[in-house]
Amino acid sequence: MRKHVTPGLIGVLVLILPTVAGCRCSPTPRPPDIPAVADAVVVATHAPMHPGDSEAVTFAAKASGTVDRIVLAYERHALSTAPGGSHEQTLVEALTMLVECDPEGTVASLPCDMTPGPGFPANSLITFHATAYDSEGRTASESYSFAAGEYPWPSDPIPIRVNGDPREHLDIVFIPDTDISIATFRESLVDVLETLYFKYDVIQSYRTLYNFYYSEVAGDYEETCNFTDPANMANLTVVADTVAILHESDLRDCRSGSRMSSEIDYDKTLIHESGHALFDLRDEYCCDSSYSQQACVPNLWNSLAACEADSAELGYAASFCEQLTKGNDSVNYWRIDPTGSAGCMMGTSMHNAGSDFGQACLRRIRVRYERCLAGDCYPWPDCP
């Protein structure tokens, strides 16, 4: 077992966490006598997303609510290929405490981080556990896994924030475009997740339903909708709901089947294209996209009457239904989500700073979330 020196913190450097772990296996079950909810929420992060051999990793968490303390811990599996070719994980470091951040009394917001010594060896899979305690001793926790050190299967999706079985999660694999260096691409991944995706509550609040991976094998995206797959595309789509090609150039982006493209540093494109790729949302702007009404929980309707009939369920007045038009052009489809400064991400408001998903889009997103929570993220789309 590793020992980590904890600057500024006294006492136990390494300890098994009996209050967190009912056993030393993974994933860590919650003891049944501790309620699942606390007056605190915790968000865990780490950087870099995929540390190299022995590269230092910063583990961090922030809790809010009524927070007494935070405990950060990890366990490490070694990854190996069995003689028969199967991929194996072997627990080599049981649950190991990194740091306990324990201010006097309770606080409304508590950050906690730790960068233990020399990092991790090649072929490691780290499972990070952040547990916040409220004043009653109840816990809120977050756990996920990421690769550390050289990854033994570089053609496969490399986990950077993985919560569980791909069948029960939305799986996004980021790959570099040919216009970006591998170094820039890798360094940007922290921001892609934590600044761009997690800016949106509908993703941040449900982040445990997502698995994020990357691959260094480049693909290419050219306007408009011309994708060149990476050589390992077949390996990626084994788990990917979408393979996201991230580029530096300013391009009109696209989703095509299990591919999407986006600028690497622009949340609006990333979230808009993810809306297509993960939730099969339709564009709500006119007039040069392809349009159709989804067979169920649509965000676009092929008649005014159909839009109006759906309005009450969405909490909108029927009068909000508007045909898609632009200047003198129009198409025979209707939207209900708002436009304007805080309008819908899938429509003309996409590039506005305050844009987010409208209720029609959110309804469709929630349906898929419910299916994932029920253990069936595939197939999509079909109707309830």
Is residue 284 within the footprint of Zn ion (CB under 5 A)?
A: no
Distances (CA, A) of 320 to 115, 272, 307, 342: 52, 22, 9, 15
CB of 282 to Zn ion, least distance (A): 8
Q: Which is nearer to Zn ion, 283 or 308 (CB)?
A: 283
Element (H, E) at 47: strand 40-47
CB of 245 to Zn ion, least distance (A): 15
In which residue are the tokens 């109006």 written? 308
Choose one: 78-86, 99-107, 277-285, 334-342; the region binding Zn ion (CB under 5 A): 277-285
Is residue 283 within the footprint of Zn ion (CB under 5 A)?
A: yes
Number of neighbours of residue 186 by Cβ within 10 angstroms: 18
Is residue 68 within the footprint of Zn ion (CB under 5 A)?
A: no
How far apart are alpha carbons 37 and 49 in whole angstroms?
28
Q: Which is nearer to Zn ion, 63 or 286 (CB)?
A: 286
Between the two ends of the chain, the Cα-to-Cα distance in Å is 49
How far apart are alpha carbons 17 and 139 in whole angstroms?
13
Please identify the residue of the shown chain whose CB is closest to the bound Zn ion.
283
How far apart are alpha carbons 85 and 118 in whole angstroms?
31
Q: Which is nearer to Zn ion, 134 or 283 (CB)?
A: 283
Q: Which is nearer to Zn ion, 230 or 347 (CB)?
A: 347
CB of 340 to Zn ion, least distance (A): 18
Choose one: 80-88, 92-100, 281-289, 306-314; the region binding Zn ion (CB under 5 A): 281-289
How far apart are alpha carbons 61 and 141 in whole angstroms?
10
Question: Could you tell me how many residues of this chain bind Zn ion (CB under 5 A)?
Answer: 1
CB of 315 to Zn ion, least distance (A): 24
Element (H, E) at 228: strand 226-228
How far apart are alpha carbons 175 and 260 in whole angstroms?
10
CB of 297 to Zn ion, least distance (A): 18
Q: Which is nearer to Zn ion, 169 or 282 (CB)?
A: 282
Choose one: 47-55, 111-119, 283-291, 314-322; the region binding Zn ion (CB under 5 A): 283-291
How far apart are alpha carbons 118 and 127 in whole angstroms?
17
Tell me the two tokens of residue 5.
């020196």
Q: Which is nearer to Zn ion, 263 or 283 (CB)?
A: 283
Residues at the contact surface with Zn ion, assessed by CB under 5 A: 283
